[in-house]
Structure 1
Amino acid sequence: MKKVCWPYFDPDFDNLPERIYGPTCRVCIDNESMEDCTVVKVDSVNKQGLLLAVVQVLTDLNLTISKGYISSDAGWFMDVFHVQDEQGKKVRDQKVINYIQQAIGTTRESTPSLPKARAYTNNVSEADHPSEHTAIEMSGTDRPGLFSEISAALADLHCNIVEAHAWSHNACLACIAYISDQSSDTPIEDPHRLASIEDHLTTVLRANTVPSISSGPPQITNREVKTGGFLGWEGTMTNVERRLHQLMLSVRDFDGPKSSSPMGTGLNLTVGGMKMAVSIENCVQKGYSIVSIECKDRPRLLFDTVCTLTDMQYVIFHASVGSHDGRAFQEYFIRHNDGYALNTESEKERVIKCLEAAIERRVCEGVRLKLCAENRVGLLSDITRVLRENGLAVVRADIATKGEKAVNAFYVRDVSGNEVDMGFIKSMKKEMGLVDLEVRNDDTTRRTNISSHDQTNRFSFGDLLKSQLERFSHNFIAIN
């Protein structure tokens, strides 16, 4: 019998980069160099998606990235970020510092848990063990009242909504919900029941969608509902939001009205009251495409743009990001995964549109409502139905439960395009009883906390709304 010989590989060869460069990833947290921010430095052997992973870690902690420099040529990745906490101060919490170092480091055995009370933004509490519930993701054409219809359909199917996140943009909807069985509060695993839920929700998404030949946004034909969770979900908000970006991309929410601006100078749109400009030009000598973004600064902006470029299969080799006087400036040197720059005008136009959509999706110029209540099956359906029947459309929603308490945050707009009647909002609160209903009008940056004990803010909305709310108003409790 012939002896089979295999080529010899030195077992130390795999460790060569670490022996040359040191540990595969070094994370330095510097609180001394800058007066008003913490400097996070990352040196690592490069791999695709590493930049997004680092940005996700910082975003999960609700840290504001005021400035950043990225370089990843020659197989080595170097990052410098200037960050501040939610109070605009340096990061002094040692637990947070340890988490950053452990989460970014590549030698860890498992990803550490986020420090408590920092996993979610928008002041919505973290849900109890969402990974133990059945995940549903939905995407398709949006219409006024669709989120309410989805909530009602799940209630009719005896499903308890433990957590949900929904985005609406350019007549498209993406929604991720975590549900449990109404009677047992356990994950729904029966394949026949899951198939029934998918069919029912697909019917809801397809209702009243008639092909149009008008000049409005294109009609979406790839509506989709999936149940059973998705791979790689680890319970952090950025992972959910990345999936929402992917769902929006799949239904082509970036296909909105075309701008008359020439492609060479980029497109100019107004977002959040400020002009947004996205442009792409080629650096022929180095073989890069240079993406330039200028828009209103906001939290999680860097995550949204890096996430979009990564999911569109582009590699970021160098980048510089910063903000000044409320405006953000970002510049990316990119190539496609195949190593080539963006050579065609159609590809440049598509990247510009997708980046614009990623920036716009989070910008909700409307009234933000936050309500807290004792959780029960059908609560979300009841609340959204009242909003729908009184002419308010939900354009974004973040729903979470913590023990017996449900926290519901909505961005709403008037379906007729008019300004939301704040008198109606106050009247709705009055009929709900003892509730501290937090209201923020993003159109005028006005913020009001309405207390049931403030007699000057008590209005009578009429018998119609009262009859709709009376049967569940006793379930509401005050927000701490």
Structure 2
Amino acid sequence: MARVCWPYFDPEYENFSNKINPPRVSVDNDSCRDCTLIKVDSVNKPGILLELVQILTDLDFIITKAYISSDGGWFMDVFHVTDQQGKKITDSKTIDFIEKVLGPKSKSTTEGVKNWPGERVGVHSVGDHTAIELIGRDRPGLLSEISAVIANLNFNVLAAEVWTHNSRIACVLYVNDVTAQSMCDPNRLSLMEEQLNNILRGCDEDGESVSRTSLSMGFTHMDRRLHQMLSADRDYESSGAISGVDVTPSFRPKISIVGCEEKGYSVVSVRCKDRAKLMFDIVCTLTDMQYAVFHATILSEGPYASQEYFIRHMDGCTLDTEGEKERVIKCIEAAIRRRVSEGVSLELCAKDRVGLLSDVTRILRENGLTVCRAGISTRGEQALNVFYVRDASGKPVDMKTMEVLRKEIGKTMMVDVKRVPSNDKVPEETREWAKTSFFFGKLLERFLT
């Protein structure tokens, strides 16, 4: 038999470029009057743009402009960001934190962003926890039934995100056990999974839709996982409604794809209503569809946003067929719409306890309201929840009903009710304690204190 010799491969070679050219991060508050410039340049790695945008988004920064360039083996990104109130990022400890996560203080840019837990640290428990993922057909009162099953088994919901789109619901929940029993008890977990699956199967009227529950002991980035779950469920195949709300033609995102033959790119142009996390949602979708972004320009113009991406598939190909272009357009449009909610938002702050989510969603259901999107989190002993609700019959939400609801729920917790701006209005500022992404903040709190 002939002897085969393989060339030696140093396992450290992949990190060699990072060692001789460590990532450089600059936080500039002098160049622009009304925003902070965050500049990052380093060795290019697949998916690095999404990781950077994810970090900035999880910090609740608003990206007003961005310029991305990553041809060859190097990338250079510039982000114009503000806080939720539209002000510069001036806190020195927050700036140090950004430089630590993105800069050379981490072993490498890729390792730094991979180790960034982001919204995954929303589970503020030292002990065991279980991550629950659910996908199925949506219907009024479904979240109430799901939370009732969890509460009846003495599990407490520490953090959760719930999205609905095109008559489908996707949930990621982190729960732990307040009793002395272990979260690893297979019998209890099996019972919970069985009961949740029974609820979801009862929603599939046509018998063709796939509903499922999965349990794990790991962490995941909630927003990205929800995009993946709904995309795998092909929610982008249906269009024309956002969680049961008719979409006016003026709101529908304008998305086009053209070829750039000179450079060998496909150019994806998006113009739509601006909102928080818009860039993350689009970049997340392109990345999970195996497209690499080589150049991009992001610009917010009042209530509108214009975004342009120069992309190729990971295999180096561009989008040449009409079928490929149509699928990408549908997936981006679905990603934009999944966060859109019309109606009324209900923001709650109360002492955390088992059954809190079940009680609140039961009251909403009894008052004829259905939840189209929700963010549940805990900070210390406080539960901080945001629900976007609409009338289960499809009619406009009666504010008198909301006042009755405020009085009923407000006996034991802080309640704030406000109407979600319509599509032709600029979104209102979010209250500090009611932001739906603050459950990442425990790590930042430890760093700042």
TM-score bracket for this pair, using the shorter chain length: 0.7 to 0.9
- Could you tell me which runs of 5 or more consecutive residues in structure 1 were left unpaired when the two chains were aligned: 212-218, 234-238, 260-268, 448-480
Q: Which amino acid aligns with 1:343?
A: D
Q: Show the counterpart of 1:51.
A: 49
Q: Is the Cα contact below 8 Å between 1:141 and 1:220 reproduced in 2?
A: no
The equivalent residue for 1:60 is 58
Does structure 1 residue 312 correspond to structure 2 residue 289?
Answer: yes
CA contact (8 A) 1:61 1:114 kept: no
Give the aligned partner of residue 189 of structure 2.
194
Q: Give 1:221 shift.
A: 2.5
Correspondence 1:316-331 to 2 at 5 A: 316-331=293-308
Superposed CA deviations along residues 76-104 of structure 1, whole A, max 9, x for unmatched, are 11111111122322211111111212212
**2:195 aligned partner, one-letter code:** H
In 2, the alpha carbon distance for the partners of 1:10 and 1:385 equals 59
Shift of 1:36: 1.5
Q: SS at 1:48's partner residue?
A: coil
Structure 1 residue 424: Cα displacement: 1.1
Map 1:229-248 to 2 at 5 A: 229-230=217-218, 233=220, 239-248=221-230
Q: Secondary structure at the match of 1:428?
A: helix
1:146 paired to 2:128? no
1:438 match: 416
SS at match of 2:235: coil
**8 Å contact from structure 1 (residues 128, 403) kept in 2:** yes
1:382-421 equivalences in 2 (<5 Å):
382-421=359-398
RCO (CA 8 Å, sep 6+): is it higher in 1 or 2? 2
Matching of residue 361 in structure 1 with residue 338 in structure 2: yes
Indicate how the Cα distance of structure 1 residues 304 and 379 shifts in structure 2: closer, same or farther if over 3 A, else same: same
Is the counterpart of residue 274 in structure 1 residue 251 in structure 2? yes
Q: In 1, Cα distance between the equivalents of 2:201 and 2:281?
A: 29
Are the structure 2 counterparts of residues 293 and 130 from structure 1 closer, same or farther at C-alpha, using a change threshold of 3 Å?
A: farther
Residue 204 of structure 1 is matched in structure 2 by 199
Distance 1:6 1:411 in 2: 59
Kindly provide the CA deviation profile for residues 419-454 of structure 1, in whole angstroms up to 9, marking residues without a partner as x: 11111111122234365420110146799xxxxxxx
Q: Pick the aligned partner of 2:263 from 286, 290, 307.
A: 286
Moved more, 430-439 or 171-180: 430-439
Tell which structure's C-alpha radius of gyration is larger. 1
What do you get for the CA RMSD once the two structures are aligned? 3.2
Q: Trace 1:126-205 onto structure 2 (pairs within 5 A).
A: 128-129=124-125, 132-184=128-180, 188-205=183-200
Seen in structure 2, the aligned counterparts of structure 1 residues 130 and 56 have a Cα distance that, compared at 3 Å, is farther
1:371 to 331, 343, 348: 348
**What SS is found at the alignment partner of 2:353?**
coil
TM-score, normalization by structure 1: 0.79
Contact 2:157 2:174 in 1 (8 A): yes
Matching residue of 2:213 = 225
Distance across 2 between alignment mates of 1:358 and 1:435: 33
Unaligned runs of 5+ in 2: 242-246, 429-449
> 1:107: how far off?
5.5
Q: Between the two proteins, what is the percent identity of the paired residues?
A: 49
Q: CA shift at 1:13, angstroms?
A: 6.5
Contact 1:400–1:408, Cα closer than 8 Å, also in 2: yes
Runs of 4+ in 1 over 4 A off after TM superposition: 3-16, 109-115, 443-447
Q: TM-score, normalised to structure 2's length? A: 0.84
CA shift for structure 1 position 405: 2.9
Give the CA deviation at 1:258. Answer: 7.1
